[in-house]
């Protein structure tokens, strides 16, 4: 499955219970964003490998996996949780080496994974249908929720295992099988997850992985007629492409896409708590998270004080080796993202924004490091305000009233998340209700749970992940009519 050669790991593709090279024999290296050095070699999968994986997943639906009861699936997911709990430190280290985010961040995510599998293990045997008392008393009518079938899961580089788990745990609980396509930048942890699934006892073909250094494998998975459902996390532009490809064979989709989330700070908020929440929202994880609170809307009466507090804290953020205990922000994940983020900062300055702190590449660390940046004097027409950046960049605007704050917060095509900071509980609820966002945190930010739905409207996606709603995303509803009288009916009359 994997073997150590010097300091570099080498992997094959887990498809149908076997680990094999890519059909073409192609491989590529994945790089450590901190050192810039290759540290693992993975297969360069193609459309042929996707076809093999989908075939294996389809076959597993009618094999031992398809024959399992819901309770048996739940017990298997509990075993998965136990294995992942044991190996969380190692999985966190792997993710940090692949994407450059803090070890404390990725280790925390890895340690949280078992909770998702345990939550959905508990839901596996609670997928209930209904009996329907329709106007036809001569029929017993009921519904069943059955697995949708083969699920294609495509995940990005920022939180590979967490975002894959948000798909895999409910899909497996529902009885589906999966083909996973991780980002070309962060393929290793998904391959290692396949090893843990195998150890926990998932039958062959239930979970398959195709890695690749080009868009070919992802495009092939989205368009494959044997895939019944696509679950995607990534940019809005690519999500639209995935949805269009899925529609070509009428597959369903859940899309967890971009965000441009606002944190709204009223003049009665606890500014110390707010400062901590702003830092957590946009500088934690280097801002490389879809829920980043990258727009700060501040009441005019506290604008200057809060900006100074946030800028002062941002200046002290320790940049460095993401594996070191005292590091608070690592490098960006890859060179393309570095160019994107620095380009946004440059564009904002050209459009008249003022740099309160940061403002570009970090001169001390070099490499893929960008300074935590706070920009004031921004306006809704600036790219830095209207477009997702996916980096440590905060755009600040001021407001004077509640209606203006809500209007500014909602003036985006995204709708993923928002934060509200106030000591007025009535205002907190009013504003939360008025915001067009799938998640609203009040006096907090960036908190998730397997029990709480996540997702948003507009360019932020389609459907929801997490919570009991998520498992229904991976089922189809079947209506069953049972005639009770034995009488012969008119064959030329409906009903």
Q: Alpha helices, DSSP H only, in 249-362?
A: 271-282, 303-315, 335-350
* Backbone phi and psi for residue 263, each to the nearest 5 degrees, phi listed first: -110, 120
From CA 37, how far away is CA 33, in angstroms rounded? 8
Of 176, 198, 290, 465, the active-site residue reads: 290
Q: What is the DSSP letter of 286?
A: G
**Token pair for 36:** 């810039």
Of 12, 95, 192, 256, the active-site residue reads: 256
From CA 399, how far away is CA 306, in angstroms rounded? 13
From CA 128, how far away is CA 120, in angstroms rounded? 14
Residues 103/322, Cβ–Cβ less than 8 Å: yes
Q: On the CB side of 223, how many CA atoms lie within 13 Å of its CA?
A: 10
Q: Helix (H, G, I), strand (E, B), or coil: what is residue 201?
A: coil
The residues, any chain, with a CB within 8 Å of residue 426's CB and separated by 6 or more, are none
Query: For residues 245-269, b (16+ Cβ closer than 10 Å) or e, as one string?
Result: bbeeeebbbbbbbbbbbbbbbbeeb
From CA 237, how far away is CA 258, in angstroms rounded? 9
Question: Which neighbouring-strand residues pair with 297?
Answer: 264, 397
Ordered DSSP codes for 104-169: HHHHHHHHHHHHHHHHHHHHGGG----EE--S-TTEEEEEEEEE--EEEEE--SSSHHHHHHHHHH
From CA 215, how far away is CA 213, in angstroms rounded? 7
Q: Quick check: is 290 catalytic?
A: yes
Neighbour tally for 353: CB within 10 Å: 23
User: How far, in Å, are 171, 411, 437 from residue 224 at the CA level?
Assistant: 18, 37, 32
Residues 90/441, Cβ–Cβ less than 8 Å: no
∠ CA 310-313-318 to the nearest 5 degrees? 140
**Token pair for 116:** 């998702």
Residues 236/207, Cβ–Cβ less than 8 Å: no
Q: Quick check: is 256 catalytic?
A: yes
User: Of 76, 160, 407, 158, which Cα lies nearest the Cα of 262?
Assistant: 407
Residue with tokens 């998270």, as numbered in its chain: 289
User: Of 482, 413, 375, 115, which Cα lies nearest the Cα of 258?
Assistant: 413
Q: Which residues are catalytic?
A: 256, 290
């Amino acid at each position: 499955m994997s073997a150590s050669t010097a300091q570099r790991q080498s992997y094959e593709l887990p498809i149908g219970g076997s680990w094999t090279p890519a059909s073409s024999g192609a491989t590529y290296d994945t790089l450590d964003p901190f050192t810039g050095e290759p540290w693992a070699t993975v297969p360069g999968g193609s459309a042929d490998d996707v076809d093999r994986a989908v075939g294996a997943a389809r076959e597993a639906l009618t094999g031992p996996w398809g024959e399992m009861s819901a309770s048996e699936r739940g017990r298997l997911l509990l075993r998965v949780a136990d294995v992942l709990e044991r190996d969380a430190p190692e999985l966190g280290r792997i993710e940090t080496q692949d994407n450059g985010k803090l070890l404390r961040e990725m280790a925390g995510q890895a340690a949280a994974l078992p909770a998702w599998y345990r939550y959905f293990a508990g839901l596996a045997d609670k997928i209930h249908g209904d009996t329907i008392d329709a106007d036809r008393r001569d029929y017993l009518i009921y519904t069943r929720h059955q697995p949708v079938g083969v699920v294609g899961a495509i995940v990005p580089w920022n939180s590979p295992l967490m975002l894959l788990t948000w798909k895999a745990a409910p899909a497996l609980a529902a009885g589906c099988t999966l083909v996973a396509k991780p980002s070309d930048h962060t393929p290793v942890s998904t391959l290692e997850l396949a090893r843990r699934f195998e150890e926990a006892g998932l039958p062959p073909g239930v979970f398959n992985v195709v890695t690749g250094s080009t868009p070919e494998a992802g495009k092939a998975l989205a368009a494959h007629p044997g895939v019944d459902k696509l679950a995607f996390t990534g940019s809005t532009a690519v999500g639209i492409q995935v949805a269009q490809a899925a529609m070509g064979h009428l597959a369903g989709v859940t899309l967890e896409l971009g965000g441009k989330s606002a944190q709204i700070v009223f003049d009665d908020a606890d500014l110390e708590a707010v400062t901590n929440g702003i830092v957590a929202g946009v500088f934690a994880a280097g801002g490389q998270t879809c829920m980043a609170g990258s727009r700060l809307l501040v009441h005019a009466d506290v604008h200057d004080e809060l900006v100074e507090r946030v800028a002062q804290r941002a200046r002290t953020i320790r940049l460095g080796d993401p594996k070191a205990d005292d590091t608070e922000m690592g490098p960006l994940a890859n060179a393309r993202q570095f160019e994107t983020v620095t380009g946004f900062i440059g564009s904002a300055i050209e459009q008249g924004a003022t740099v309160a702190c940061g403002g570009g590449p970090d001169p001390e660390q070099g490499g893929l490091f960008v300074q935590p940046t706070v920009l004031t004097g921004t306006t809704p027409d600036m790219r830095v305000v209207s477009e997702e950046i996916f980096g440590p960049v905060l755009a600040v605007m001021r407001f004077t009233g509640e209606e203006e704050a809500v209007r500014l917060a909602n003036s985006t095509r995204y709708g993923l998340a928002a934060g509200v900071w106030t000591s007025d509980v009535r205002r907190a609820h009013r504003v939360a209700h008025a915001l067009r966002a799938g998640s609203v945190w009040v006096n907090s930010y960036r908190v998730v749970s397997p029990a709480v739905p996540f997702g948003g409207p507009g360019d932020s996606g389609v459907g929801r992940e997490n919570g009991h709603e998520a498992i229904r995303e991976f089922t189809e509803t079947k209506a069953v009519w049972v005639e009770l009288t034995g009488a012969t009916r008119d064959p030329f009359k409906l009903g």
